[in-house]
Homo-oligomer: A and B are copies of this chain.
């Protein structure tokens, strides 16, 4: 760390310390939450999540067809999201259906609503 010449004259030391403490206390939480949000913050994965929100369940093959993408690519996205508990699976013979876990369905609802109404440009 170099460029740290700036220990501000009028910095609020109490504020700085309070913040440092908060960050240190919440550290793993930040990591965990940021990781979850980074999964949602991808073009393809956001589409998958939205489609699952709308259609309840879909298989890799459906998603591959819908998004015009390689099955392998989709499968890798699904795996990441399943590993992080955004998605769950259910097998029906050879076909594996993916769906949103209830927790994330709830948490991401505001974003799906925005997409549903296609009102992002006004809202965000």
Contact = CB atoms under 8 A, between A and B. Distances in A.
A83 interface: no
In the complex this chain forms, how many copies of it are found?
A: 2
24 contacts: A1-B69, A4-B64, A4-B71, A6-B61, A6-B64, A8-B95, A12-B62, A15-B62, A19-B51, A22-B51, A23-B47, A23-B51, A23-B67, A29-B115, A30-B43, A31-B43, A33-B46, A33-B111, A33-B115, A35-B41, A37-B40, A41-B41, A104-B124, A107-B110
Interface of A: 1-4, 6-8, 10-12, 15-16, 19-20, 22-23, 25-26, 29-43, 45-47, 50-51, 54-55, 58-62, 64-72, 85, 95, 103-104, 107, 110-111, 114-115, 118, 120-121, 123-124
